[in-house]
């Protein structure tokens, strides 16, 4: 019995998120600095202004974890943009009942959905941090002039030929033996959002995740268990499986569906443009030396290139009529990757 890699990954992660506290195995930007959710909330408030202040407006998050990002965002929005706070309706996309229960403690006013395409219609701003990296990938291996595909059998990878109808799926030149990854679910999410945003009052989505700015061959499937890398194929459901996000493929899917894509911009550059360092320096000024040091260490971890500042990136998908959104530059952002 063999199972295609994406189906294996979907099954393993569904079990993992339903049976584990993921924060025992890894940490994420909103858990590292409260400023992360705060500046994303202010980003959403500015985007809402640019959209013409629709009321009501859906504020959505995909994969909210323990709800930290959104709780920080709503606190900042409540202080700085009370009209946006009054207009927004909170919707969360979360497949794990256990994580929904955690989210409900901090965000009792929310409505939950299983999938992005189940969100109600209407103007929307969606935030997502480390959501796309958890979606299942397929892996293709270059052999001669064609491709084979990876399956999992008894905790090992095996290959099977790809039918002619799917030979174009990898869509990338690669040397003999190289692996090319395709995340069909992430592309479907980009397409669905783009179709909504193609309407003038459609809105915008902000994805922060890790991966290269340009497509390249490579095997990025990884498992994290108690902070350590583990074998992704052993013990499915016991570790968090992730893969690099293919930002270029998402931008392409969005363009094809009539929306605008901005970025990807390196997380360090993006957060600096949103004023995260200054915001946290101001907050630190009123704290004890130990608390101030912790606040500033969090900022460095999120922004410095050798930490999370460069591998993590921000990509926005939005309505074509919107002006350039905060954190993104009008000209090519090549230097910011």
Of 25-33, 212-220, 264-272, 289-297: span binding ligand SAH (CB under 6 A): 25-33
Retrieve residue 219's tokens: 């095997």
Of 60-68, 252-260, 275-283, 308-316: span binding ligand SAH (CB under 6 A): 60-68
Select 51 or 92, whichever has its Cβ closest to ligand SAH: 92
Retrieve residue 33's tokens: 């600095």
Among 8, 43, 84, 131, interactor with ligand SAH by CB under 6 A: 131
Residue 67 touching ligand SAH (CB under 6 A): no
One symbol per residue from 29 to 58: x for binding ligand SAH (CB under 6 A), - otherwise; what is it? -xx---------------------------
Number of residues counted as binding ligand SAH (CB under 6 A): 20
Which residue is closest to ligand SAH by CB?
A: 63
CA 22, 155, 152, 311 dihedral sign is positive
What is the H or E stretch that residue 3 is in?
A: strand 3-4
Of 131-139, 140-148, 165-173, 243-251: span binding ligand SAH (CB under 6 A): 131-139
Residue 222 touching ligand SAH (CB under 6 A): no
Minimal distance in Å, beta carbon 15 to ligand SAH?
Answer: 11
Residue 99 touching ligand SAH (CB under 6 A): yes
Select 73 or 93, whichever has its Cβ closest to ligand SAH: 93
Among 63, 202, 264, 327, interactor with ligand SAH by CB under 6 A: 63
Minimal distance in Å, beta carbon 307 to ligand SAH?
Answer: 16
Residue 210 CA to chain centroid, in angstroms?
A: 8
Whats the size of the chain, residue-wise?
337
Q: Which residues contact 224 (CB under 8 A, 6 or more apart)?
A: 25, 26, 230, 239, 240, 242
What is the H or E stretch that residue 22 is in?
A: none
Instruction: For residue 181, give Cα distances in angstroms to 42, 149, 162, 163, 243.
Output: 34, 10, 14, 17, 9
The beta-strand segments (E) located in the chain are 3-4, 57-62, 88-93, 111-113, 124-129, 138-143, 146-153, 156-161, 179-182, 203-210, 222-225, 228-230, 240-242, 260-266, 312-318
Residues 91/120, Cβ–Cβ less than 8 Å: yes
Closest CA to 91 of 130, 55, 63, 68: 63
One symbol per residue from 1 to 20: x for binding ligand SAH (CB under 6 A), - otherwise; what is it? ------------x---x---
Minimal distance in Å, beta carbon 303 to ligand SAH?
Answer: 16
Q: What is the gyration radius of the CA atoms in the chain, in angstroms?
A: 20
Select 141 or 316, whichever has its Cβ closest to ligand SAH: 316
Residue 232 touching ligand SAH (CB under 6 A): no
* Residue numbers at the binding site for ligand SAH (CB under 6 A): 13, 17, 22, 28, 30-31, 63-65, 69, 93-96, 99, 129-131, 134-135
């Amino acid at each position: 019995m063999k199972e295609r890699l994406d189906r294996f990954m979907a099954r393993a992660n569904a079990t993992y998120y339903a049976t584990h506290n993921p924060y025992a195995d890894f940490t994420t930007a909103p858990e590292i600095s409260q400023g992360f959710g705060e500046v994303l909330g202010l980003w959403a408030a500015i985007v809402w202004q640019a959209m013409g202040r629709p009321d009501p407006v859906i504020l959505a998050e995909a994969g909210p974890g323990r709800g930290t990002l959104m709780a920080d965002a709503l606190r900042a929005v409540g202080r700085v943009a009370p009209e946006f706070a009054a207009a927004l309706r909170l919707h969360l996309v979360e497949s794990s009942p256990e994580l929904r229960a955690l989210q409900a403690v901090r965000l009792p006013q929310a409505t939950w959905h299983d999938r992005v395409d189940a969100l109600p219609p209407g103007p929307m701003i969606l935030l997502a941090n480390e959501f796309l990296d958890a979606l299942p990938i397929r892996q293709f291996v270059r052999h001669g002039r064609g491709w084979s595909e990876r399956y999992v059998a008894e905790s090992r990878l095996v290959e099977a030929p790809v039918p002619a109808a799917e030979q174009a799926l990898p869509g990338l030149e690669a040397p003999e033996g190289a692996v090319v990854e395709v995340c069909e679910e992430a592309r479907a999410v980009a397409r669905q959002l783009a179709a909504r945003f193609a309407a003038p009052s459609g809105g915008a989505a902000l994805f922060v995740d890790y991966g290269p700015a340009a497509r390249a061959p490579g095997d990025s499937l990884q498992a994290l268990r108690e902070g350590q890398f583990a074998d992704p194929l052993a013990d499915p459901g016991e570790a968090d499986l992730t893969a690099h996000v293919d930002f270029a493929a998402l931008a392409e899917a969005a363009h094809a569906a009539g929306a605008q894509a901005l970025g990807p911009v390196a997380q360090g550059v993006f957060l600096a443009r949103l004023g995260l360092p200054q915001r946290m320096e101001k907050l630190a000024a009123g704290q004890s030396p130990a608390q101030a040091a912790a606040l500033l260490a969090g900022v460095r971890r999120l922004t410095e290139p050798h930490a999370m500042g460069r591998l993590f990136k921000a990509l926005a998908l939005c309505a074509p009529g919107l002006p350039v959104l905060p954190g993104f530059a009008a000209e090519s952002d090549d230097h910011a990757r």
